[in-house]
Each structure stands twice: as C-alpha cells, then as structure tokens.
Amino acid sequence: MQKQSFTKRRVIITPNNSPSLNIFSASNFPNIQFVLSNQNGMLDPRTLRLNYKLNIVKGTIRVANNPVLVPSATNGISFNNRAGSLSTINQVNVSSMNGRNIETLQNFNRYISTFTPNTENQFDLINTLSTGDPFVSSKSVCACRQANVPTTHSVPLKTGFLSGSTPINLSTKGFHGLNINIQLAQNANAVGPFTFFTDSITGVPVRNIVASSDTAYEYQLSDVFLSYDIYMPSDTIFNAMPSSGQFIFNSINSLTSTLIASDSTSTLRLGVKNVLSITHSLIPAIHQNNQKMDSLALPPLTTGATATSFGTYAPLNSIQYMRGGMLFPYNYILDSETQAQEGNPSAQISEPALHSCTLYEDGHHGMNPLTNTSPGINNIPQFAVNPSNIKGGVSLAQAPDANSDFILGIPCDSQKVGVDYSMSDYSFRIRSNINGTVPFQLFSFVRCRNVALYSPTGIEVVE
C-alpha cells in the first residue's frame, strides 16, 4: 500500500496578545495578532477563517432594534449589511516571520462593502454568506435584529494574498511562517443605523433611516480565534521540494482623496507594477465616522447632504480615466450625460466599474452579481419600485436596498497580466452636478499582481 504523500490537519490558533477577559474593542484593545508558525506544512488559504463572538452594548444596556418602531436610545444600531460584522475591521496586515511585509490593506471594511455587492448575488448574501456572518443580507432591515443578541461569526479575511487558491508554504522553503495583524475600526465607523424602504404614490421608494439617539454603543469581539487547514507533506515529498522559487499572488492597495467640484480631476501616484484594476467608492465626508449614518454605504453623488441625510441626487455626466496624462484604457470619454439627466442607467460608466471588481468573471452564475438584480449598479431609486410604477422593476420586498451600489473604476488588463503604473500617474476627471458645498471622500482600491521570491534566508516581494 502506497504511503500517503500529504496529511491534512485542522489548526486553531488564538491571538498572541489576548487582553483581560479576552474582549477586543475599538476603545480598549483594538489590535489582534496571530502567528502562523514556521512549520513543514502548506496553508490552504481558502479554508482560513476568523472566528469570534460579537456583542453591541453600552455598559450593560443592549440594543433592542425593532423596524416597526421609531428611533430611540435602543432602536437604530446595526452594521452595514454588505460588509456585515467585517465592518469592525479597519486594516489587515500580512507579513513573513522574517519581517518582510507582504500586504497591508487599509480601509478593509470599505473594501468589503464596495466589492461584495458587485461579486455576489442577492441569494448568495441571503443563503450563503449569512451562514458565516448573520449580519450579511441584501437588505439592511433583515440584519438589524441580529444586533439584539450576541452572535457568532466565522468569516474569511478577503485580502488579495489570503484570497488566493495556491497553497502557501509555511516552512523555511517558503514564507518561514506568517504574521497576521488586524486593526479594529472606530465604533462610529463600524456601527450605524439600519435602513428600510416604503412605497410612495410616485413609485419612488422612500428611504427610512432608523438611527439611535444614543451614540455611546460599542461593539466587542470575544472568543477570537483563527482556523485553517494545513497539508503536511511526507519527509520524502518535503525533501524533494525546492528550497527557493517564486510565489505569485494578488494584493490590494488603498488610497483616499477628496471630490468637491463639479468638474474635478484627481491624480494618484500608485507607484506599483502589474495593476489589474482600480475601483472607487465614495461617501459624503460628513457621513464618515458618523454613527447617525452608514459610514460604509455606497451612495451616488448628491447635493445638500447633511449629518442625517444623503441629500438630492446629482447626475454623473462623464468620466475619463488617464495614465500618464493620456486616456487609458479607453481612448475616449465615458459620457452618459443624457442617461444621467433622464434618470436612466449609465451603462457606459457602470460596466467598466463592474468589471473592475469581477475582472470579467461575472458570468459563472445566472444571477451574478447582485448588480444584475434591480436596482442595479449606479442606479437611482426609481429602479427598485413596486410593479405599479411605469418604470417597472421588482417589488420592494424582493429587491435589494435601493440606491446602495454606486462605484466607479476600470479593469486595466483583460489578460490579467497587469499594467505598469510605477512611473506613470493615474488620474481621472469627473463631470457631475455636485455644487461643491459638501465634499465627498473617495476611496480607491488598486488590485495588483505581485511576485515574491523565497529562499532559506527569507522572502522578498519584488513586484
């Protein structure tokens, strides 16, 4: 009988820096550190999960969300329903045991809330993702009651490096082990109101934001541990492995900027090679770190936003993307002014944005992604309406939350090799109807292909 070449083991590790009572929170103990030790094994990143128990409390007072009641001191506290409990994570850093940085993804919760509705469909959120994270749903109101009780979670850390499928060698013939450091988000950035929509006589859904009058609630993570599968090779297989080589992986870089003028050009120095895609999401700056509003929402451009409202829809007329001052990857302006002014979908702008998330892999599921279901990507509220409206659409009970998926972006290379921005600036020009009174905070996520060289002395990320 032939001897088995690899043995699979299930591994569970606890944080290296567990605080008293094992409770992590933004105010008391916001950093979680894990060490995946140097060992003769191959980590399967597809199985890696962060596990924890989640509470939202104010001292001993617990949330009591009820959508049929008006906002109160205990009604109106939840998480963004796209990011779910991952709203609590602001940054994930992965490094090797010899101190080499592999990936640092800032604004992790914003990244998750931006990509999830454009890579998953409505039924994935309801039936699949919610099994590991009860706060994930296609509708905000569906998840709000979860905040009333302690909940348990088992979620993947969807960074570029940890989202791959290639086994990661943790031995001295690979990465020499890994460090994973997690930084928690501010309470006001993670925790916010919940939203539901009601019919109106015009057919345009009415947004109802239920925000608690008490902003002193905080989230707490307890019983935190990391679980994953590791494949242990036999001595014969391990001795035959090369001691040096290269490992190709994706990484995500995050940048922030400001949009305020109706005709605005933003220039970003990416400084990286092999860029696969660039994706943008934005939010009124007054809503960022504001517990009265969802800091991770994906609202469209608006005018007159306040600390408790989104304001009035402002059409996005055109956008042009450039590399080194030249139009790229499209040698023309993406102009949807006519569609924007008439309240129709801006397909010429939204399709590249969708592909910046999916990298063209959006046809493997008949209902994928969520943007194929009304209201759709970059749409306005009229497209998630009751059947009596002349615009059509599905009922409010069936549709994902209206007006909740506005992104911009481009895929840089359909061959997935990447485009070199190390010596060329990336810029984009937006023409819209915003009036400059309320600035927008714009988040940019740059997906890159990287190459790491490993040897017995350690690793080096060269691209």
Q: What pLDDT is recorded for position 432? A: 93
Does 347 map to a domain? yes
In a domain? residue 29: yes
pLDDT band at 148; cut points 50, 70, 90: very high
Of residues 382 and 270, more confidently modeled: 270
What is the model's pLDDT at position 374?
39
- Residue 189 is predicted with a pLDDT of 96
Which has more confidence, 265 or 127? 265
pLDDT number for residue 395: 65
- The CA-atom distances, in angstroms, between 70 and each of 3, 194, 302 are 66, 12, 26
pLDDT at 390: 44
Higher-scoring residue by pLDDT: 396, 256: 256
Per-residue model confidence (pLDDT) at position 356: 93
Task: Give the residue-averaged pLDDT of 110-133.
Answer: 83
For the ranges 98-102, 259-263, 310-314, the one whose mean pLDDT is highest: 259-263
Q: Is the pLDDT of residue 282 over 70?
A: yes
- Cα separation of the two ends of the chain: 45
Please give the mean pLDDT across all residues of the chain. 87
pLDDT band at 126 (very low <50, low <70, confident <90, very high): confident
pLDDT value at residue 363: 58
Residue 416: pLDDT band (50, 70, 90) is confident
Rounded distance, CA 211 to CA 197, Å? Answer: 14
As a whole-number percent, the residues of the chain with pLDDT over 70 amount to 88
**Per-residue confidence band for 4, with pLDDT thresholds at 50, 70 and 90:** low
The pLDDT value given to residue 20: 82
Q: What is the mean pLDDT of residues 26-38?
A: 95
Q: How many domains, in total, are found in the chain? A: 1
Residue 34 lies in a domain: yes
- 41-64 pLDDT, tens digit per residue, is 999 999 999 999 999 999 888 999
Exposed, middle or buried, 55 (CB in 10 Å: 0-12/13-18/19+)? Answer: middle
Q: What is the DSSP string of 182-215?
A: EEEPPHHHH-B-EEEEE--TTSPPEEEEE--S--
Give the per-residue pLDDT at 45. 96
Are 88 and 219 in contact by the 8 Å Cβ rule? The answer is: yes
Q: What number of CA atoms fall less than 13 Å from residue 199's CA on the CB side?
A: 13
> Confidence band (pLDDT; 50, 70, 90) for 92?
very high
Phi, psi of 220 (to 5 degrees): -140, 135
- Asked whether residue 1 is domain-assigned, the answer is no
Q: Is residue 152 part of a domain?
A: yes
Q: What is the pLDDT of residue 5?
A: 87
Checking if the pLDDT of 226 tops 90, the result is: yes
Query: Residue 429 falls within a domain, yes or no?
Result: yes
pLDDT one-digit tens code per residue, 334-379:
998 787 777 666 788 988 998 999 888 765 444 444 443 334 455 4
pLDDT of residue 386: 43
Stronger pLDDT, 304 or 398, i.e. the higher one: 304
- Domain membership flag for residue 396: yes
Give the pLDDT score at 373.
39
Confidence bin at 443 (pLDDT 50/70/90)? very high
Q: Return the percent helix, strand and coil in the chain, to nearest 5.
A: 15, 40, 45
Q: Is residue 113 part of a domain?
A: yes
List all residues 6 or more positions away from 342 whose beta carbon is below 8 Å from its beta carbon.
none
Is residue 347 helix, strand or coil? Answer: helix
> Which has the closest alpha carbon to 331: 442, 410, 252?
410
**Model confidence at 111, in pLDDT bands (50, 70, 90)?**
very high
Domain range enclosing 300: 6-461
| The overall pTM is greater than 0.85 | yes
Chain segment 377-394, per-residue pLDDT in tens: 554 444 444 444 444 455
Nearest residue to 378 (alpha-carbon basis) of 396, 356, 398: 356
Q: Higher pLDDT residue, 143 or 236?
A: 236
In this model, does residue 8 exceed pLDDT 90?
yes
Q: What is the pLDDT of residue 435?
A: 87
Joined together, the tokens standing for residue 105 give 């993804």
